[in-house]
Structure 1
Amino acid sequence: MNPEAYCYELQGSEAFVVESIPVILDMDTGIDDALAILYALSSKKLRALGITTCFGNGDIENTTRNTLAIVELGLSSVPVYQGASHPLVSPWESTAEAFHGPNGLGGTRIFHPTQKAEPLSALDFLRKSIEDHAHDIVLVATARLTNIASLLLAHTELTSLIKRIVVMGGAAFVPGNVTPVAEANIWGDPEAAWVVFHSGVPITMVGLDVTMQVPISDGMLSSLVPQVPYFDVIREAVDFYLSAYNPGEPRGNRTAPLHDPLAVAVAEDDSLCKTQALPVDIELSGRFTRGMTVVDRRERTTAAPNVDVAVTVDRERFLKQFAQRLQFQQSG
């Protein structure tokens, strides 16, 4: 028995040995990605095999550097593998500087990480890990889906070996956040999203329908325990994030969505969100709708469901877990 593949779970006074979940985090590390990494590293149930990086909230150099820095601040040595620097087909539009700052972490001065990105490419790492953990591995994608799409295009035989892909992306019953109908991660590389959503791999879509319901707040930020090694970086980065979502709003009243931490949390415990199996397609060519997750909600549709779409979230349970994991003090 590999001891790393198991963890202990307490239920009352009883302790149970449970099998841990091997995961790969695929990220474009900006501010909420950083929080998601810290959440994952604190999990006893998730076993992070590595983190692959992608362009998005910053260019690939910044997102990789940010990932290495957050891993180090989380007192971990999880390996990091650099991935895609641009979309599959279309030119890369821009970073998400308005919400994540010029360096992806709100302009926070980041130290030079001692850990380096691994020499193995993100795609080779993904392929090897999927083969080594066939039928058990879960991919958690909180970036554009470029890395995963590139892998599945090159190695179609891997689709049957992936247990599930948890995607932070899309908007089923709510507006988009980049265009009226498109969410940022899908909009940022629609062709990649199309490949993944049509791959046949089981997918859970943790989209804006649920992520916009789980905010971090000024009150939570002010309760972060000062002794944690990531205190200064997270405090400054999240302060920027809160301001970006609430321009002109004074400190004390601001909130911002915890998009990526919720996706990681669902990979660990899928009971946090209620899902509905639905047919989902990706719009590639619409003048106003490119990047839209087109969800077929018709009762008598003949289209087969291909995605488990998160439609509701246990808000209080998730926020309590998030606060505990990252060491925000809780009142009451």
Structure 2
Amino acid sequence: MTAFLLDVDTGIDDALAVAYLAALPDTEFVAVTASPGNVDADQVARNTLALLELCGRPGVEVAIGAREPLSIPLLTTPETHGPQGIGYAVLPEPYGAVSARDAVELWVEHARARPGELTALITAPLTNFALALRMEPRLPELLAGVVIMGGSFYYQGNTTPTAEWNTHVDPHAAKEVYAAFEGQPLEKLPIVCSLDTTERMELHPVHVRQLAEAAGAKVAEEVLPGQPEGQPSTSDNTLVRHLSDALRFYFEFHRRYDQGYLAHVHDFFAAGVAAGTLEFQARPATVDVETGSTLLMGTTVADFRGLWGRAPNARIVADNNPGQAFRELVSRVGALAARLG
């Protein structure tokens, strides 16, 4: 059993990551918290609560922490994820309510209550996690492990030429988080899933079709580049229909920016790394984040050779296996969709 503290900014690829984790039989959602990023934090929380219920995980506490980055104005991305954050999908209204508790306090409380048991997965800007580290500097020791989706090292950024989205939204938080892990034992260093390897996770229309087939859907699910933009899914399977509508928006976004009719599902990969189900290799490095330069704001820099004379503070994923990852995704989420009907 892997018990998760999960921080998200749901988000199409966050939604796929949550659905994947919900599909695993041995995962516990201890708490899921909302950071502002793809959409504002209140919308993130509503999306996440509705999605968990849709995926057969009702009753998970979903809480909001920060509503703004630490030091700069919030930048959201409706052009990438849609005005509500989940593309063309319209999730059912959740039965449950967003928690009245503070997300940061929730993280610290759970980590203190279950030392060495909880895996932290952050697929959002690192705002809430930085605040939790301020409140409890022992979090690196208290958590069983940490996985972060963020950064770009030997790869073009997806927000500026050098900066990845999550880090660019709150570079000051990211800088604090990496600094907090400097000098920790290797096994306690966060595993960082950067664009260098997450952009190898290219989800294509064939994967959507395979997902519907694995779910036993009676209606073939064809999301194709020649179809009208925004064409709604007619799938008889509820989860497939919602994921398909979300992914169609993502396909169209990537095509608009000359990347092809596909979707980079960064957060799904990070979720699989955190769950221990996806193949990868990582290298230790010392990571720092640029916060002073207008030109390079949010750029992540990794020292793999010890040139700074500082201890490593991260393990950066250097290789992965997209084929294995998508077979796992289709199998697991397809089976969940089949169970839910």
1:146 maps to which residue? 127
> 1:241 is matched with which residue: 250, 272, 284?
250
Q: What secondary structure sits across from 2:110 in the alignment?
A: helix
2:233 maps to which residue? none
Q: Tell me the amino acid that sits aligned with residue 313 of structure 1.
A: N
Whether the 8 Å contact between 2:284 and 2:313 is mirrored in structure 1 is: yes
Cα displacement (A) at 1:107: 3.9
Q: TM-score, normalised by structure 1?
A: 0.87
Cα displacement (A) at 1:320: 0.8
Matches within 5 A, 1:152-191: 152-191=133-172
Q: Deviations over 1:234-277 (max 9, x none)?
A: 1111100111011298xxx7211110011010011176110000
Q: Does 1:294 align with 2:301?
A: yes
Cα displacement (A) at 1:115: 1.4
Q: Deviations over 1:88-124 (max 9, x none)?
A: 11111x2111110111011433321111112221112
Whether the 8 Å contact between 2:269 and 2:278 is mirrored in structure 1 is: no
Q: Structure 2 stretches of 5 or more lacking a match?
A: 182-187, 218-235, 337-341
Go from structure 1 to structure 2 and tell me whether the alpha carbon gap of 1:109 and 1:196 turns closer, same or farther (over 3 Å shift): same
Matches within 5 A, 1:1-332: 20-77=1-58, 78-92=60-74, 94-200=75-181, 202-223=189-210, 224=212, 225=215, 226=217, 228-247=237-256, 254-269=261-276, 272-298=279-305, 302-327=309-334
Go from structure 1 to structure 2 and tell me whether the alpha carbon gap of 1:236 and 1:270 turns closer, same or farther (over 3 Å shift): closer
Moved runs in structure 1, 4+ residues, more than 4 A? none
Q: TM-score, normalised by structure 2?
A: 0.85
Q: Tell me the amino acid that sits aligned with residue 317 of structure 2.
A: A
Q: Structure 1 stretches of 5 or more lacking a match?
A: 1-19
Q: What secondary structure sits across from 2:272 in the alignment?
A: helix
Which shows bigger deviation, 213-222 or 41-50? 41-50
Q: Percent identity?
A: 28
Following the alignment from structure 2 to structure 1, what is the Cα–Cα distance between the partners of residues 307 and 293? 25
Q: What secondary structure sits across from 1:95 in the alignment?
A: coil
Q: Looking at both structures, which has the greater relative contact order when contacts are Cα pairs under 8 Å and sequence separation is at least 6? A: 2
Q: Deviations over 1:284-309 (max 9, x none)?
A: 11121110111114475523211100
Whether the 8 Å contact between 1:45 and 1:268 is mirrored in structure 2 is: no
Go from structure 1 to structure 2 and tell me whether the alpha carbon gap of 1:301 and 1:87 turns closer, same or farther (over 3 Å shift): closer
Whether the 8 Å contact between 2:63 and 2:102 is mirrored in structure 1 is: yes
Following the alignment from structure 2 to structure 1, what is the Cα–Cα distance between the partners of residues 283 and 10? 29
Whether the 8 Å contact between 1:181 and 1:289 is mirrored in structure 2 is: yes
Q: Tell me the amino acid that sits aligned with residue 202 of structure 1.
A: L
Following the alignment from structure 1 to structure 2, what is the Cα–Cα distance between the partners of residues 318 and 125? 31
Corresponding pairs, count: 307
2:232 maps to which residue? none
Which shows bigger deviation, 55-64 or 262-271? 262-271
Q: What secondary structure sits across from 2:238 in the alignment?
A: coil
Following the alignment from structure 1 to structure 2, what is the Cα–Cα distance between the partners of residues 72 and 257? 25
Whether the 8 Å contact between 2:108 and 2:135 is mirrored in structure 1 is: no
Go from structure 1 to structure 2 and tell me whether the alpha carbon gap of 1:290 and 1:118 turns closer, same or farther (over 3 Å shift): same
Following the alignment from structure 2 to structure 1, what is the Cα–Cα distance between the partners of residues 153 and 100? 38
Whether the 8 Å contact between 1:280 and 1:295 is mirrored in structure 2 is: yes
Q: Tell me the amino acid that sits aligned with residue 179 of structure 2.
A: H
Q: Tell me the amino acid that sits aligned with residue 83 of structure 1.
A: G
Which shows bigger deviation, 261-270 or 217-226? 217-226
Following the alignment from structure 1 to structure 2, what is the Cα–Cα distance between the partners of residues 202 and 283? 20
